[in-house]
Structure 1
């Protein structure tokens, strides 16, 4: 494994890598998550939705960075790593060839560094194509036994004796923070702020991240199920996808909890689509994304009205923004330009960030930051790290959930919404009957 100095001035110390991608039968990648071998909790890598995407394991190279220039430093390291690499790619699909997985810190002053990870082995599937990529230092042999390891791996064990406890703030204390935010909005200090709370998870035995990924994929198949450097979750929000010059971004803001009764949920979807409070929150988020992408695109399509995205536990107002990139931006460059959007921070951004730092009383770390993957040419997919948890040890995680607060928000409803957003991870950590 090659771990590189996180100091930007040492980015030119990248060890040359060799990546080789070859096609495999679709049947060998029929269940990507089942191919993940038993690994340390921070070496499991995933970006999968509806059975397609990329997974990885092992660490051929990695990079850590912090601070205001974390995106620029990560971008620089990846460009130099990709330029120095030898790549044999007979597949030519998004996610083949040399790729890295990444997870970026939400705030510049976070004590938790951002991470880029280049796996030793990547397996991908897209449409009628499936492939395996092996990556190693150019003067080292590729990972051994790759063919033998592409079959189903040992089943992950269910978590045992899982206990949940409040993070820095209890639900009641967090409700008080929401009240304070509403007072500031009423005083015209800001228009919107997204406040998050946390739950701590402890177990008597090691928690297998593969168990969590499989449960999330089963229960929330319309989300992107991700794992990078110890953060694991299922995000419904595609921050940015860049593929051959076309950029797309899915904006989610405005949420209502589902009841499980189809007719009732249909009525709730209608009320969400008409809610002035939720439409206002959504408009802030869409505007922040469109304004940021406009600097990098020659044309852009922004739908006039959102649609309602139905997930298993909640429904969101959603808008898909698309544009044609007219500069040399990579997917990480675009993700940096969009972060933090109003969907995870607020409006105005600077004021909302200050309110978050004061009222949440916690370091978000890589929660609500960009998470995803990128190839050697800069194309890739970056979501927002939502509905997720971060391993703090092999037997413990911290879970996060946040809600957008605007004028008209009801504190009790926001607490209920945050509880609903914890549900995917809480259920994924529960044994199945």
Structure 2
């Protein structure tokens, strides 16, 4: 177990033990998890849902924010200190029952966004035909009797009105020039790969209701993990790490092509993607970085020799599922820390790629491209990479920033990378304007 740096005390947990109660729930009531989220501020909803299964939560029983290079260790220590003495009554006993925290962590050590863990007051989960309800409290009050919490579908939230988009840190032409500079650095041998991101500004007439975005994303992108944590919302296709009962898995994506909508043509495009030396090279770097990071924690690992093509509604990716058997008690959050940042969002070599990112992107990624997901009291959980996402402005909830990034290697063409980034912005743009 990773410890905090010498001389730095672990953050204090709640003054009184956390109290959590989980009871079975009629699966019909949780048939649409996102629909049961009540109205609230942009930071209120928590979500981790894929194909109708997962977790949603609301309210705030406890939370913690950490900054700097030690943010993962500080968040982990806080969570472990919180759930260690917790009083838990769990009648379901599945990963994701009992006390649960949703989290998202900034990409860069120096980002003011830091990292956040949120423990909701109410969590509703659904998995494999079973559903449950958990209520959580911290302090002298006792967790509410779950039967007194009403779980019903809420009215459809209002759609954003008068949505407008604007260039972010770099306008498209300037971003293409940044890509060209990166290709020059790679060709010169300074590095093998770098991931460059760009952002878009969003304004709406009124506060943006995150629940609207979650519903639209879940409808159109049900093969992704639709997430929300503290105002960060999106639909990621990339599972950074899942820890469940001693098994560790990770889905690595790198290498992208945009489908046309013509089935025959798209089959040919998928075949060309699977043979593309540029995309295979990019993918190999990403897979290797994940396998190397997981290896110290696993007794055996399965790393397929060749990727498969993952078909999403707006893009196709080269994908590889890496699996291993855990040999220690490292939690899912600590595993996510060991994997971050992978070559899929940073590059190779990592330190050089990070320097190039800082020089060429001209923006703070915030929590974009950082881990996002959940953890339970046993340390099990799922953490994705915050992709295809946007962050609501905490000072003005009628504003957002959207993000997209592309892996740049020697064969990258700036105009093609710009088109790829535009495709990756489509899920959030469509959700805002549907």
Matched with 1:423 is: 426
Matches within 5 A, 1:87-98: 87-98=88-99
Distance 2:237 2:194 in 1: 20
Contact 1:14–1:77 (8 Å) recurs in 2: no
Q: TM-score, normalised by structure 1?
A: 0.96
> Counterpart of 2:41?
40
Write out aligned runs for 1:201-280 (5 A). 201-280=202-281
TM-score where L is the length of structure 2: 0.96
Q: Is the 8 A contact 1:285 1:342 kept in 2?
A: yes
1:394 is matched with 397
The reply to whether residue 18 of structure 1 matches residue 19 of structure 2 is yes
Partner of 2:63: 62
The match for 2:288 is 287
Out of 405, 410, 431, the position equivalent to 1:407 is: 410
Give deviations 1:150-209, integer Å, cap 9, x for gaps. Answer: 111121011100000011101111001001100100110000000000001000111110
Cα deviation for residue 328 of structure 1 reads 1.5
- 3-state DSSP of counterpart to 1:124: strand
Shift in Å, 1:222: 0.1
1:81 matched to which residue of 2?
82
Counterpart-to-counterpart distance in 2, 1:124 and 1:315: 29
How far is the alpha carbon of 1:327 from its aligned partner?
A: 1.0
Whether the 8 Å CA contact 1:86–1:138 is kept in 2: the answer is no
Change beyond 3 A, Cα 1:32–1:173: same
Shift of 1:109: 0.8
Question: Deviation of residue 388 (structure 1)?
Answer: 0.1
Aligned-partner Cα distance in 2 for 1:170–1:308: 31
Q: Is the 8 A contact 1:120 1:143 kept in 2?
A: no
Provide the C-alpha distance between the structure 1 equivalents of 2:158 and 2:333, rounded to a whole number of angstroms.
35
Map of 2:123 onto structure 1: 122
Q: Provide the rounded CA distance (Å) in 2 between the counterparts of 1:389 and 1:147.
A: 34
Please report how far the alpha carbon of residue 145 of structure 1 lies from its aligned counterpart in structure 2 after TM superposition: 8.6
Question: 1: distance between equivalents of 2:252 and 2:290?
Answer: 8
Q: How does 1:117-156 map to 2 (within 5 A)?
A: 117-143=118-144, 147=148, 149-156=150-157
SS in 1 for 2:47: strand
CA contact (8 A) 1:194 1:345 kept: yes
Residue 311 of structure 2 is matched in structure 1 by 310
Residue 92 of structure 1: how far off its partner (Å): 0.5
Q: Structure 2 stretches of 5 or more lacking a match?
A: 1-6
User: 1:97 and 1:308 mapped to 2: Cα distance?
Assistant: 36
Q: Is the 8 A contact 2:168 2:200 kept in 1?
A: yes
The equivalences for 1:150-169 within 5 A come to 150-169=151-170
Aligned to 1:378: 379
| Residue 9 of structure 1, CA deviation | 2.7
Aligned-partner SS, 2:81: helix
**CA contact under 8 A between 1:29 and 1:124: conserved in structure 2?**
yes
Cα distance in 1 for partners of 2:148, 2:302 equals 44
Structure 1 equivalent of residue 4 of structure 2: none
Q: Which secondary structure does the structure 2 equivalent of 1:132 belong to?
A: strand
Shift in alpha-carbon separation, 1:143–1:163, aligned structure 2, 3 A = farther
Paired residues, number? 425
Q: Is the 8 A contact 2:14 2:138 kept in 1?
A: no
Counterparts in 2 of 1:128 and 1:145: CA distance versus 1, 3 Å: closer
RMSD (CA atoms): 1.3
Determine if contact 2:217/2:226 at 8 Å carries over to the other structure: yes
Instruction: Extract structure 1 runs of 4+ deviating beyond 6 A.
Output: none
Matches of 2:78 and 2:175, distance apart in 1: 39
Question: Is the contact made by 2:48 and 2:225 (CA closer than 8 Å) also made in structure 1?
Answer: yes
